[in-house]
Structure 1
Amino acid sequence: MFAKMDSLFGVLCLLLTLTAKGYCISCQLCVTSMAQSCTGVSVICPTDYVCAARYTNTIIGGSSTPVFSRSCSPPTNCNAAGSMTIPGGTVQTNATCCSTDNCVPPTPTLTAAPTSNSTNSTSAVNGVTCRSCATVNSDWCYTSDTIRCTGNELSCVMHSTKITGPQAVTMAVRGCATRSLCTLSTQSFSTSELSSVNTFVCTDGGVVLKSGLLTSMMVFFFCMYIL
């Protein structure tokens, strides 16, 4: 009887130890620009990560580039929906998660695309101005062009996407973004068939457009260093 109690106590201690150190689950890794679902290889995630599905849609000049992926993710990235306004278009993203081995997260949905800055009324301008650019076939862009932010897009962001494999995508954009996107930082994963790197680099605020020579000089020097 004592031997059985010792055995049960040992198992209990082991479970408590594993719980104290966190736990790992397995998730599928995949990415596609052709659909809102994909399947791939199963990998063991870092401790306390969950399985995530992310859907991002970039619209420039009326042309849409959707990207769907599944991967391991820290829980802080779950439900981190947000938007960007970029030259001539928008970027929207959202993520859903689940927390059991190889679970399938609900399909992320996007809200209606926000109105382009060029057509917004001046009353919607929030006082933040950011660098703006967009490029394909490169994960970096920079110009002297700026864009005035509107609504709740209070951060300046550079977002780059680089996917290698059968459906290769490389692009970079700068513009205004909701602060929720700035929590995403860099997300990457790779398999034997493909790799994906998504990076969000943000600064809070931007150039405040006001009249006056002193303000104009401050704007100029600030623009030289922002982002």
Structure 2
Amino acid sequence: MELLGILLLLSALTTTGYSLICKTCWHLSSLPCNGSYVSCPTGQVCVAAFTSVNIGGAITPQYSITCGKPNDCNVTGSMTMNIGKILTGTSCCNTDNCTPPFPALPSVSLQKNGLTCRTCASDQSDYCYTSDKLQCTGQETKCARMARTLSGTINLKDALRGCATKSYCDILGSQNAFVDGLYVDMKTYCSDGAADLRHMGYFMLICTVAMTKFMF
């Protein structure tokens, strides 16, 4: 009977999985990052994200740690708009209360890749549209339209449109998280270019702190 109890306990632990404890925090700097600790959903890890936002030559660094999926780990990507450029990188660790290695940022290329996208930005709304166009460079082979809503310690909506890497479209540009009193809801929609230029008016949305605010 005792053996049966042990087996049932082990089965329950296997079914429910292990919940990692991670720090959650963010701020407009690189390090340190102080915040509270939370129990992550089963299967998630501790993810650090570092973002460098260059708006008109003024660079704003942003750093955060939160729970995330394993496929969020060790990813770099970028997005370029008419107002500037966003570079983002992530890293992970998978033990309780751990601090991930400091994330690396992607390299920047000025080599044009033949793609042209519409570009705009708004810090007043989660939508923007314009006839302005931007010639894409390097690995930014997607036209991206993105939107973000922040609520909690900061309340705002903002929108961006421009060239982006595939990793930014697939992973970095769509996030939904509660970090140290701040709820972040970001969505990104991408295309290969031609359809994007004809139908850009349908969903528009964001990411990352721009103008002094765009963040991950």
Mapping 1:1-227, distance limit 5 Å: 6-112=1-107, 114-115=108-109, 120=110, 124-161=111-148, 163=150, 171-184=158-171, 185-191=174-180, 194-197=181-184, 199-207=186-194, 221-222=198-199
Deviation of 1:77 after TM superposition, in Å, equals 0.7
Distance 1:221 1:30, change over 3 A: closer
* Partner in structure 2 of residue 210 of structure 1: none
Distance of 1:138 and 1:226 partners within structure 2: 12
TM-score in terms of structure 2 length? 0.79
Percent identity between the two aligned chains: 40
* Partner in structure 2 of residue 214 of structure 1: none
Distance of 1:174 and 1:200 partners within structure 2: 12
Q: Can you give the 5+ residue segments of structure 2 that lack an aligned partner in the other structure? A: 205-216
Does structure 2 conserve the Cα–Cα contact (< 8 Å) formed by 1:53 and 1:95?
yes
Deviation of 1:55 after TM superposition, in Å, equals 0.6
Does structure 1 conserve the Cα–Cα contact (< 8 Å) formed by 2:145 and 2:190?
no
Query: Which is worse superposed, 18-27 or 163-172?
Result: 163-172
Distance of 1:29 and 1:201 partners within structure 2: 23
Deviation of 1:47 after TM superposition, in Å, equals 1.2
Q: Higher relative contact order by CA 8 Å / sep ≥ 6: 1 or 2?
A: 2
Distance of 1:178 and 1:134 partners within structure 2: 18
Q: Can you give the 5+ residue segments of structure 1 that lack an aligned partner in the other structure? A: 1-5, 208-217
For residues 43-77 of structure 1, give each alpha carbon's deviation from its aligned partner in whole angstroms, at most 9, with x where no partner exists. Answer: 11111010111011110110112211110101111
Counting helix residues as a fraction of each chain, which structure ranks higher? 1
Partner SS state of residue 67, structure 2 = strand
Distance of 1:222 and 1:165 partners within structure 2: 33
Does structure 2 conserve the Cα–Cα contact (< 8 Å) formed by 1:32 and 1:167?
no
Deviation of 1:164 after TM superposition, in Å, equals 5.4
Deviation of 1:35 after TM superposition, in Å, equals 3.1
Partner SS state of residue 160, structure 2 = strand
Query: Which is worse superposed, 30-39 or 71-80?
Result: 30-39
Partner SS state of residue 17, structure 1 = helix
> What is the aligned-residue RMSD (CA, Å)?
2.8
Deviation of 1:107 after TM superposition, in Å, equals 1.2
- Aligned residue type for 1:187: N
For residues 91-148 of structure 1, give each alpha carbon's deviation from its aligned partner in whole angstroms, at most 9, with x where no partner exists. Answer: 1001111111111111112245x25xxxx4xxx4333222211233544433221212
Structure of higher CA gyration radius: 1
Does structure 1 conserve the Cα–Cα contact (< 8 Å) formed by 2:88 and 2:106?
no
Counting strand residues as a fraction of each chain, which structure ranks higher? 2
